[in-house]
Each structure stands twice: as structure tokens, then as C-alpha cells.
Amino acid sequence: MAKRTYQRRSEDDRIKDLEQKVAELRARMERKQRKDGPVLKEFKKVQKVLQQFAGTAHQHARADIGNMVDAFSAGLARQIDLVPDEPRRRSRAPTEEGW
């Protein structure tokens, strides 16, 4: 058998790997601390049901409904990925004349 050759990773490679792990852990912590966690859990279930419904629609010659459900599902997935800001409250803009 041939002798195996090992190549040690450089310090820069090790640092880069550790920085990547730290970034992944920070992202994971942020996901856990989101207030809309239950929404994210339910979204996976909804997404699965929507995909099944779209598939059924396509199989039964209702591509229009299937495409509509696919588009809705894609838009919903994009919105889920966004982190919501604090709720915005509408307020009246201060007027100069005090109306």
C-alpha cells in the first residue's frame, strides 16, 4: 500500500473556517430569537400542502391554478426570509398650523 500524504491546513485556512462557523452560529442564534418562530414552523407545513395541491392541479389539467399556487408560494417564501421590523404605526405628520 502506498503511504498516505497529509497536507496541513494553513493558519489562514483554519481562521477562515472558524469565521464561517461563527457566522453560522450567529445566524442560528438570530433565527432562534425571532419573535415569529411559530410562524416559521407552520410555514413548512403550509408549504408542503401547497406543493401537493399545485401538483394535483397540474396533474388534472388545471395548470392555471397550479401556476397561481406556485407563484403565491414563492412570494410567501420570500416574505418569510425577511426579518420583520417593529410594527409600524401610522401617525399624523405634525402640521405647521396645528390643524
Give the pLDDT score at 58.
93
Q: At what angle do helices 37-59 and 63-81 cross, to 10 degrees?
A: 160
Give the pLDDT score at 87.
57
3-state secondary structure 2-71: CCCCCCCCCHHHHHHHHHHHHHHHHHHHHHHHCCCHHHHHHHHHHHHHHHHHHHHHHHCCCHHHHHHHHH
**Dist CA 53 CA 59 (whole Å):** 10
pLDDT tens-digit readout, 43-85: 889 999 999 999 999 999 999 999 999 999 999 888 887 766 6
Whole-model pTM? Answer: 0.52
Per-domain residue ranges of the chain: 35-83
Give the pLDDT score at 40.
80
